[in-house]
C-alpha cells in the first residue's frame, strides 16, 4: 500500500495562472447537450434515496442533538435547559448502572463470541464433508428474530419446567431461577447473546480464512513450522483486518441490544440487566422525557464512536474490512 501511494504522488506544481482561469471557466459553465442530460438523470435517480435519508436519518440526527439540550414531553413545546439533562444523568444511578451493564454485556459477549466464532470457522476450514450443514446450524440464530429467540430462551430458563433446569435435574442439580436472580440474570442474558452472535462471527472469519494465501502455509510447512506455530505466526496476524471488522460490528450491535432485554428481563431484577438502550426507551416512552432520552442517546453515540476510534488505534491503523 505504501508503495502505490508513493507511485501515485505527483510532484507538486503550482498551476499556472492561465490554466487556473481556464479551469474555472469550464466548471463555471453548466455542461450542455447529452452530458447535461446525463447529469440531470443522475441527480433524479439519486433524489428519492437522498430525500428519504435526509428526512429519516439526517434530520433525526440533528434533531437528536438539539433535543438533548431541552426538556420536552411531546405535549408542550420543548424548553431549552442547557446542560441540565447531562447533569441529571450524573445523578441518575440507574443510568450509570445501565452503562456498566452495557459494558459488561459487551465485554463478555463480544470476545467470547469471537473466540468461539473463530474456533468454529477454523474447524470448518479444515475441509470437512457436510460442512454446509454445520455452518447452517451455527448461523440460523442470526437470521431469526431476537424477539422469537428471547421467547424461546425465556422458556428454556423457566425455573419450574424449563429445559435448562429439567436437564440439570437429571444430574441431580436444582437450578436457580435464572432470570429473576440478581446474580444469574446478567450471565443468562450474556449466554443468549453469545449463542446468537457466534454465527455472524464465524461467517466473517470463514470468509477471511478462505482468502488467505496457501503458499505461506506451504512454505511454513517446508520450514518445519508446526500447525500451532503456523496459526499464531501466520493465520492470526493475517486475520487482523477481519478481527477488527468483527470487533467493531459486534460491539456496535452489542451496545444496542434491546429486544432480548425487553422480553427476557424488562431490565430487572433490580435493574441488574438494564442497558443504555433500555433506559433510553424507558425515559422516552414510559416517562415521556424526550429531551433526557435524547441526551442519553447522545452519550450512547459518543461511547460507540469512542470505542471505534480506540479500537482502530489499538489495531494499528487497520482500515477495517471494507
From 13-21, 40-48, 96-104, 176-184, span contacting other proteins (CB under 8 A): 40-48
Query: Residue 13: what are its φ and ψ, rounded to 5°?
Result: -135, 125
Show Cβ contacts of residue 319 under 8 Å, excluding neighbours closer than 6 positions. 241
Question: Which residue's CB is nearer to other proteins, number 46 or number 83?
Answer: 46
Please tell me the distance from the alpha carbon of residue 54 to that of residue 51, in angstroms, as a whole number. Answer: 5
Which range touches other proteins (CB under 8 A), out of 81-89, 91-99, 125-133, 178-186?
125-133
Total number of residues that touch other proteins (CB under 8 A): 105
Angle at 304 between CA 81 and CA 319, to 5 degrees: 140
* Long-range pairs for 152-159: beta carbons < 8 A, 24 or more residues apart: 153/188, 153/192, 153/260, 153/264, 154/179, 154/263, 154/264, 157/188, 157/264
272 grid coordinates? 441488574
Find the binder of other proteins among 199, 235, 273, 274 (CB under 8 A). Answer: 199
Closer Cβ to other proteins, 99 or 248, answer by number:
248
Cα-based distances in Å from 30 to 18, 45, 234: 20, 19, 54
Identify residues 169-188 at the interface with other proteins (CB under 8 A).
none
- Residue 88, judged by CB atoms within 10 A of its CB (0-12, 13-18, 19+), counts as middle
Of 134, 216, 220, 318, the residue at the interface with other proteins (CB under 8 A) is: 134
CB nearer to other proteins: pick between 6 and 61: 61
Q: How close are the terminal C-alpha atoms of the chain, in Å?
A: 15
Closer to other proteins by Cβ: residue 17 or 75: 75
The C-alpha cell of 87 is what?
447533569
* Look-up of cell digits 513450522: 225
Q: Which stretch binds other proteins (CB under 8 A): 80-88, 104-112, 154-162, 173-181?
A: 154-162
Among 110, 114, 190, 206, binds other proteins (CB under 8 A): 206
Min. distance of Cβ 17 from other proteins in angstroms? 25
C-alpha distance from residue 165 to each of 37, 46, 90, 298 (Å): 69, 55, 40, 41
* Residue 251 is a binding residue for other proteins (CB under 8 A): no
- Return the number of the residue (46 or 100) whose C-beta is nearest other proteins: 46
When asked if residue 306 is in the footprint of other proteins (CB under 8 A), the reply is no
Site for other proteins in 258-287 (CB under 8 A): 258-259, 262-263, 276-277, 280-281, 284-285
Report how far residue 6's alpha carbon sits from residue 2's, in angstroms, rounded to the nearest whole number: 6
53 in contact with other proteins (CB under 8 A) = yes
Q: Does 236 bind other proteins (CB under 8 A)?
A: no
Rule CB under 8 A: is residue 41 a binding residue for other proteins? yes
Contact between 60 and other proteins (CB under 8 A)?
yes
Determine if 94 is a binding residue for other proteins (CB under 8 A). no
Count the Cβ atoms, other than its own, within 10 Å of residue 162. 19
Check residue 288 for interaction with other proteins (CB under 8 A).
Answer: no
Residue with C-alpha cell 512454505?
A: 219
Residue 65: how many CB atoms within 10 A of its CB?
14
Under the criterion CB under 8 A, does residue 200 sit at the interface with other proteins?
yes
Which residue, 121 or 186, is less far from other proteins as judged by CB?
Answer: 121
Of 131, 129, 125, the closest CA to residue 214 belongs to 125
* Cα 302 to Cα 322: distance, rounded to the nearest angstrom: 22
The reply on whether position 108 binds other proteins by CB under 8 A is no
246 binds other proteins (CB under 8 A): yes
Pick from 304, 311, 312, 318 the residue near other proteins by CB under 8 A. Answer: 304
Asked if 124 is part of the footprint of other proteins (rule: CB under 8 A), the reply reads yes
User: Does position 81 bind other proteins by CB under 8 A?
Assistant: no
Amino acid at each position: 500500500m505504501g508503495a502505490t501511494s508513493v507511485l501515485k504522488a505527483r510532484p507538486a506544481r503550482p498551476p499556472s495562472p492561465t490554466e487556473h482561469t481556464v479551469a474555472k471557466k469550464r466548471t463555471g459553465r453548466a455542461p450542455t447537450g447529452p452530458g447535461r442530460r446525463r447529469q440531470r438523470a443522475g441527480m433524479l435517480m439519486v433524489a428519492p434515496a437522498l430525500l428519504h435519508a435526509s428526512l429519516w436519518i439526517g434530520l433525526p440526527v440533528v434533531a437528536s442533538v438539539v433535543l438533548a439540550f431541552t426538556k420536552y414531553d411531546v405535549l408542550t413545546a420543548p424548553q431549552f435547559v442547557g446542560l441540565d439533562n447531562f447533569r441529571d444523568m450524573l445523578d441518575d444511578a440507574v443510568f450509570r448502572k445501565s452503562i456498566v451493564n452495557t459494558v459488561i454485556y459487551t465485554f463478555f459477549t463480544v470476545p467470547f463470541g469471537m473466540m468461539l466464532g473463530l474456533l468454529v470457522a477454523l474447524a470448518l476450514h479444515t475441509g470437512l464433508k457436510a460442512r454446509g450443514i454445520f455452518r447452517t446450524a451455527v448461523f440460523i440464530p442470526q437470521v431469526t428474530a431476537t424477539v422469537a429467540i428471547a421467547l424461546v430462551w425465556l422458556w428454556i430458563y423457566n425455573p419450574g419446567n424449563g429445559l435448562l433446569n429439567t436437564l440439570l435435574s437429571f444430574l441431580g442439580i436444582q437450578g436457580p431461577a435464572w432470570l429473576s436472580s440478581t446474580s444469574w440474570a446478567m450471565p443468562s442474558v450474556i449466554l443468549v447473546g453469545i449463542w446468537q452472535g457466534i454465527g455472524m462471527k464465524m461467517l466473517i472469519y470463514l470468509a477471511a480464512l478462505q482468502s488467505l494465501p496457501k503458499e505461506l502455509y506451504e512454505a511454513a510447512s517446508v520450514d518445519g513450522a508446526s500447525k500451532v506455530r503456523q496459526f499464531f505466526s501466520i493465520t492470526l496476524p493475517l486475520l487482523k483486518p477481519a478481527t477488527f471488522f468483527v470487533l467493531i460490528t459486534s460491539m456496535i450491535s452489542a451496545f444496542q441490544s434491546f429486544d432480548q432485554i425487553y422480553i427476557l428481563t424488562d431490565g430487572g431484577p433490580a435493574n441488574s440487566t438494564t442497558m443504555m438502550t433500555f433506559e433510553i426507551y424507558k425515559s422516552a416512552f414510559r416517562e415521556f422525557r424526550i429531551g433526557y432520552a435524547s441526551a442519553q442517546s447522545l452519550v450512547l453515540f459518543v461511547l460507540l464512536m469512542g470505542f471505534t476510534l480506540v479500537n482502530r488505534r489499538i489495531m494499528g491503523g487497520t482500515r477495517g474490512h471494507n
